[in-house]
Structure 1
Amino acid sequence: MQAPTIGGVSVPRGDGTTVVRVRQGASLTDFADRINANPASLVTVLFHLGEMATATQSLDEDTFKLLGAELGYDIRMVSPEEEERELFDSFNINLEIGIEAEDEDDLEARPPVVTVMGHVDHGKTKLLDAIRNENVVAGEHGGITQHIGAYQIHKEHEGVDRAITFIDTPGHEAFTAMRARGAKVTDIAILVVAADDGVMPQTIEALNHAQAADVPIVVAVNKIDVEGANPSKVRQQLTEYNLVAEEYGGETMFVDVSAKQGLGIEDLLEAVLLTADAALDLRANPDRDARGVAIEANLDKGRGATATVLVQSGTLTVGDAIVTGSAYGRVRALLDEHGKPVTEAGPSRPVQVLGLSSVPRAGDTFVVAPDDRTARQIAERREAADRQAALAKARKRISLEDLNAALAAGKVDTLNLILKGDVSGSVEALEDALLQIDVGDDVDLRIIDRGVGAITMNNINLAMASNAIIIGFNVRAEGQNADYAEREGVEIRYYSVIYQAIEEVEAALKGMLKPEFEEVELGTAEIREIFRSSKFGNIAGSIVRSGEIRRGARARITRHGVVVAENVEVAGLRRFKDDVVEVREGYECGINLGSFNDLQLGDLIATYELREKPRA
């Protein structure tokens, strides 16, 4: 490697093919260690490239790519999965879950994990309600599932009692991230389509997630008892998306159901088991340390941090030291979907875990560690990596070229938000949806803190210090906290339906935008005669061709189609000997254009005004 001089500093250089791997949220110091360079030199190089950063600041991927292109390095960002694997390898913990990683003799059949997907209000929760015989939908706000639950049911199939695990994922588009995550832990997806509604945008969105995750799909055509139901139309529509029904010569099983009447439920469960047996090799090793995914997590007043986990391999038992995300702890108790204690959970079993140090995020992997100390160390390493990645994501890039413009224009308006929710899946989905709101470059949305549980004094103090608004999703500030927030003028907005929060935040962002103006033409007049006045200068004797000419309006003068003057004021307007405020189309008038006297016969005077443009 050469050591060229860039901006007066010497930096080791690659040959364009040298690959350097850096993790998400790495700093210039981390990169300098990889290429044996001085971090201060890299700060200088970045400065000459129009980027400003300190040696210890977390940088985003674009900045590293820019630096790599300049220095001749092919910079590859380590994926979260690779980073996770490297972390666990350092503690001699094997993360492999698949049946490929196991001996054939150790594998045993496990229940299929099924995710229910589809468009909002097509009856997903009612269908699960019918399957579980529990009235879940009565507790939902606006008929929309606000967070995920996992349940296991039993069905007799070919004389054998078979278990099926269901994961209920929400149906509103704001939950795209949660739905995608649901597909990753899923063996089979049930796509619910209403027979009276047909294929809708979120149906396609759910379908894309399932197909991207390479998950077999069983289609439940719901609401067949409703007037206007047309199940065959649904089958025809879905053929466009490579879901061809068996009766049409395809491979996808379609089952007509009515969740309300309880029709077709047995057939649907049968179809799930047939699909699992035909298309999947569902086996796992129960005799190893448990691995799996946290499907949901929340803060319980009496029990502390709890997480609903899905065991994917191994057996989770009470007393195991586990780590999930940046949370760790010893399993104090395991509860099934009915809240009853169990001593262990095998593959494909969803259970609620008590005993964690903090609330993990929905979608975090969990592993059983050898002991409490190892679990804590892994959690702390994960937390540090997450914090650096978040800093890199939040970093606002500004180039030297933009700096003067930014300073001249004043500070970019920023709406700071603090999100608190009842469960981590909802908070994560809300954050994801809010960060996708785009109202241009003039205003910026920053989520400075997020968490699970009631709104605390710390949240209110942070909101005061950073001028932020607190959004409470199914949680509230109570007692002295609510009084303190009101006394200090901290705004707290409460929501129970997620899209209301998204709409109101979007409206707030649009309200912060500087007004946009558009030019509206008022009228035009043609100069027929020019009168000289020692007192007023040249007066344009004109006839109004269109609209109206108003005194005080702005005017543009054009001559043979070429603009000769802009932003001229109509200083005076007369009809015969009378001063008037406006003259309408077809009438003659005298127009005084103030200090502008360069008038010729045939010139066209166009008057206009600037009106504030409503934002879309």
Structure 2
Amino acid sequence: DEAGEAAATAAPEAAAAAEEKPAAEAAKPAGDAGKDDKKKKGPNKAALALMQERLKAIREEEERLKREEEEKERLAEEAEKYRLEQLRLEQEKKEKKKQKEKERKERLKAEGKLLTAKQKQDRMRAQAMLDALKAQGVEIPEVGVEKKVRPGTRIRPKKKDDGTKEGESKEESPSLEEQKKAEAEAAAAEAAKKAEEVKESWDASDSEEEEPEPAKPEAKEESKAPVKKQDSKKQESDDDEDDSEDDDDDESDDESEDESDSEEDNRPEAEKIRQRAMERIAKRTQDAEKKRTTDNLRAAVVCVLGHVDTGKTKILDKLRRTNVQDAEAGGITQQIGATNVPIDNIKEQTKFVKGFGDTIFKLPGLLIIDTPGHESFSNLRNRGSSLCDIAILVVDIMHGLEPQTIESINLLKAKRTPFVVALNKIDRLYDWNTMNRKDVRDILKGQATNTQLEFTQRTKEVIVQFAEQGLNAALYYENPDPKTYISLVPTSAITGEGMGNLLFLIVQFCQKQLAKRLMFSEDLQATVLEVKAIPGLGTTIDAILINGKLREGDTMILAGTEGPITTQIKALLMPQPMKELRVKNAYIEHKEVVAAQGVKIAAKELEKAIAGLNLQIAQKPDEVEICRDIVARDLKSVLSSIKLSERGVYVQASTLGSLEALLEFLRTSKIPYSGIRIGPVVKRDVMKASTMLEHENQYATILAFDVKVERDAQELADSLGVKIFQADIIYHLFDKFMAYRDEIKQRKREEFKTIAVFPCKLKILPQFVFNSRDPIVMGVIVEAGVVKEGTPICVPSKEFVDLGVVTSIEANHKQIETARKGQEVCIKIEPIPGETPKMFGRHFEETDMLVSKISRQSIDACKDYFRDDLLKSDWALMVELKKTFQIL
């Protein structure tokens, strides 16, 4: 539009300029005109044409813009009309519904069938009293049976005049009762009508409310009536029963109409509630963002990454002064653990570091996550580094950067996570002299010259390796610019040297560079790390609370194996400071936990919870559904990204991270998987895995990583022939499966040994024909392929005559099982039982080529079970023979 306006303003000026030019030309003296005409006549015409073109283009542009504007206005008007029409229709619908409801209630009142909850209750109480009297054996006379003639009831003739009095007295009581009842119903109808009018005037909402309680004289009489009035009471109850039968039918019809109407009506209402909840959540997030300040920091989440056995967990053990390492399976960290290091402990461990006195500590502490280092757990590591604010990359000074260290660097680069490097194992340097509670610079200065030289050399090597990865690195005390250079801190996890410097550097870095990121936010951000069963607490979850607060009694929503789980937090447990979340400690119970912390949450129904995804907290009941949707969406996106194959093993793991790690491992090992699940192995899983028995036996297996197998599932697996492999270390699981696979393959090879025929071409050596018939014993040279014992031999050039089967092969007077291309061997061919033995010189000549007789069945057997025994050239020969024998 602005361009259009500019063009519009420019247009008149251009036109004016165009008109002025010819005028100026005319005003010139006649003498000059002759000269000028020659020079300027041509260009003026061209300029005028150009200007006219431009003016035309500008006008067209203006017209187009105007048309567009008109079109927009027209569409907006139409949309508004449509909206108003929809609004009107909706209003009409509501009015109709309201009227219908009103008419229904009026009709029911007129029929005396509209009972309030209280009236229904009284009626039930009266009936119960009658039943109790009957049970006690009190005789209750039947009254007013003639009120309603039912099908099959015999109509008795009227009594004679002498008995009229008795008849009158009997009829009198029902008529009195009916009169009372009619009055009560009229009063009820009147009261209900008044209440309805009040409701109409005050509240025009559609939502159904309970009917007001009208006067109930009959109900009171029923409840208070003594045994004297049994006759009337019984009659009333009979009336009520008959009426209620009709009422129930009518009410059920009306209710079903009601429900269908209310469903239509409630849908927009539910949408409104949902919308309000979503707006509330969004507003809460905005408010939390506004409240953030650099004066109120949360604890920084620190990740420890590195290659296997570089000493990650040892570094943490040193920081905590504990020993988790020994409890791990094979000393390898299998799950992510979280440790809270309070600021007081950090001060204690860093007070001998240079520059300690000048530093003001703003951080409340550090939350350190130990991620598994070995490759398969790259997924857990991935989760870990997506949580963390700063990472410690542990590098073994003796080995430099190893494959997983490089993988970790790429991971940190991808997540744009700042990190410092712990140059670990300096105590392994030759002639190292341990000095505790000193700044690492002083420790290095105190070493022997050869040790210092070795340290310098190895450090330079590491710096060069970092440069190869495209990163600048320098020792932290020689770092020219911490923003562009990575700091290297020499440490020893065994002796504790350099640990103070490492902590101090992290705290400084967090306070200087990451203050904005570490500002505390009220908005909840928490990730489930693990699901664990703890004796005395049941199933609990370990979570990392990065931002916000968790309170006891909060409604928590998290991902589960069978959909989102909604539960209430029963207890918030935290390990004592400087203890790891994984290890069973005496936990401290808290009413409220503020970020950043590692917290264990005890709640009901956590057995099916899945680790590795965020958990949500619903602060109001109407937010629960929104949180459930968010959680379900997260889980769906993760699981749908896993591609399954039609045939393959069934995989189960305890957490999402370990499942993805295991699948990644299987993918690289080229093992297909057809099904996945998170949680323990149950009968349903065995049934799913058993479907593979029809296709491939070797895949009728369940790989259960770090999960328990239910007893009935194990029994079913044994009866169906499904193998369940269970292990706590990924490599053990893989080894078990590979061993099983090889065992099956070996069994199949034995089974198909006689069926599988290897392709071969044999040329007869005429000077070495030792026996010409039954059995044929001759020397041959293997032209192509492989000849083995049991190979049937035939002669294609003599109408595929069958000579028999190779029963033994000899080379240099030694028995051998197979002979390959180029070998000269002696073979014995025995005739096929039941057939006439063939003779050399009669049935075939020395010029004929002998080949192995293959079939479709033998080719398939070779493909399935002997593929690795044949070379590429052997398969080429197989194709050639296939054409020779015309096998499809």
State how far apart, in whole Å, the 2-side matches of 1:98 and 1:593 are.
95
8 Å contact kept, 1:527–1:605? no
Opposite residue 213 of structure 1, the aligned amino acid is K
Partner residue in 2 for 1:41: none
Partner residue in 2 for 1:215: 417
Partner residue in 2 for 1:375: 624
Opposite residue 387 of structure 2, the aligned amino acid is V
Partner residue in 2 for 1:121: 309
Partner residue in 2 for 1:271: 505
State how far apart, in whole Å, the 2-side matches of 1:549 and 1:446 are.
39
Partner residue in 2 for 1:241: 469
Partner residue in 2 for 1:51: none
Opposite residue 340 of structure 1, the aligned amino acid is I
Aligned pair partner of 2:593 in 345, 370, 390: 345
Quote the offset at 1:196 in angstroms. Answer: 2.3
Q: Percent identity?
A: 25
Mark the CA change 1:286 to 1:215 in structure 2 (over 3 Å): closer, same or farther. closer
Aligned pair partner of 1:313 in 541, 547, 552: 547
8 Å contact kept, 2:338–2:370? yes
8 Å contact kept, 1:542–1:590? no
**More displaced stretch, 150-159 vs 489-498:** 489-498
Opposite residue 239 of structure 1, the aligned amino acid is A
Opposite residue 181 of structure 1, the aligned amino acid is R
8 Å contact kept, 2:367–2:596? yes
| TM-superposition CA deviations, 1:559-612 (whole Å, max 9, x none) | xxxx97999865499xxxxx99657677999997999978684x6657799793
TM-score by length of 1: 0.65
Mark the CA change 1:267 to 1:615 in structure 2 (over 3 Å): closer, same or farther. farther
State how far apart, in whole Å, the 1-side matches of 2:512 and 2:794 are.
76
State how far apart, in whole Å, the 2-side matches of 1:242 and 1:473 are.
37
Aligned counterparts, 1:29-44, within 5 A: none
Quote the offset at 1:125 in angstroms. Answer: 0.8
| TM-superposition CA deviations, 1:18-65 (whole Å, max 9, x none) | xxxxxxxxxxxxxxxxxxxxxxxxxxxxxxxxxxxxxxxxxxxxxxxx
Aligned pair partner of 1:296 in 506, 527, 530: 530
TM-score by length of 2: 0.47
Aligned pair partner of 1:332 in 548, 563, 570: 570
State how far apart, in whole Å, the 2-side matches of 1:476 and 1:590 are.
57
Quote the offset at 1:500 in angstroms. Answer: 0.9
Quote the offset at 1:166 in angstroms. Answer: 0.7
Opposite residue 355 of structure 1, the aligned amino acid is A
Partner residue in 2 for 1:143: 331
8 Å contact kept, 1:334–1:354? yes
| TM-superposition CA deviations, 1:238-274 (whole Å, max 9, x none) | 2211233224866111111111111111111122223
Residue 354, structure 1, aligned to residue 602, structure 2? yes
8 Å contact kept, 2:336–2:384? no
Opposite residue 614 of structure 2, the aligned amino acid is T
Opposite residue 503 of structure 2, the aligned amino acid is L
State how far apart, in whole Å, the 2-side matches of 1:262 and 1:131 are.
8
Residue 495, structure 1, aligned to residue 749, structure 2? no
Partner residue in 2 for 1:67: none
State how far apart, in whole Å, the 2-side matches of 1:131 and 1:241 are.
29
State how far apart, in whole Å, the 2-side matches of 1:458 and 1:549 are.
49
Say which SS state the counterpart of residue 225 (structure 1) adopts. Answer: helix
8 Å contact kept, 1:284–1:312? no
Aligned pair partner of 2:395 in 176, 189, 193: 193
Say which SS state the counterpart of residue 368 (structure 1) adopts. Answer: strand
Mark the CA change 1:274 to 1:496 in structure 2 (over 3 Å): closer, same or farther. same
Quote the offset at 1:303 in angstroms. Answer: 2.4
Opposite residue 267 of structure 1, the aligned amino acid is N
Opposite residue 315 of structure 1, the aligned amino acid is K
Mark the CA change 1:236 to 1:387 in structure 2 (over 3 Å): closer, same or farther. closer
Mark the CA change 1:551 to 1:242 in structure 2 (over 3 Å): closer, same or farther. closer
Opposite residue 238 of structure 1, the aligned amino acid is F
State how far apart, in whole Å, the 2-side matches of 1:456 and 1:236 are.
53
8 Å contact kept, 2:793–2:805? no
**Based on CA coordinates, which of the two structures has the bigger radius of gyration?**
2
8 Å contact kept, 1:527–1:540? no
Mark the CA change 1:99 to 1:207 in structure 2 (over 3 Å): closer, same or farther. farther
Aligned counterparts, 1:457-536, within 5 A: 469-477=701-709, 491-508=723-740, 524-525=763-764
Partner residue in 2 for 1:102: 289
Say which SS state the counterpart of residue 426 (structure 2) adopts. Answer: coil
| TM-superposition CA deviations, 1:459-487 (whole Å, max 9, x none) | 66776788764545445457788778767
Quote the offset at 1:105 in angstroms. Answer: 5.5
Mark the CA change 1:386 to 1:292 in structure 2 (over 3 Å): closer, same or farther. closer
Mark the CA change 1:526 to 1:217 in structure 2 (over 3 Å): closer, same or farther. farther
Quote the offset at 1:117 in angstroms. Answer: 0.8
8 Å contact kept, 1:324–1:365? yes
State how far apart, in whole Å, the 2-side matches of 1:586 and 1:485 are.
52
Quote the offset at 1:190 in angstroms. Answer: 1.1
State how far apart, in whole Å, the 2-side matches of 1:459 and 1:587 are.
55
Say which SS state the counterpart of residue 203 (structure 1) adopts. Answer: helix
State how far apart, in whole Å, the 2-side matches of 1:550 and 1:438 are.
31
Partner residue in 2 for 1:225: 427
8 Å contact kept, 2:547–2:595? yes
| TM-superposition CA deviations, 1:486-526 (whole Å, max 9, x none) | 67876443312222112323444566678698958696545
Instruction: Identify, as 1 or 2, the structure richer in helix.
Output: 2
Partner residue in 1 for 2:361: 160
8 Å contact kept, 1:290–1:368? yes
State how far apart, in whole Å, the 2-side matches of 1:342 and 1:527 are.
96
8 Å contact kept, 1:125–1:168? yes
Partner residue in 2 for 1:446: 674
Partner residue in 2 for 1:178: 380
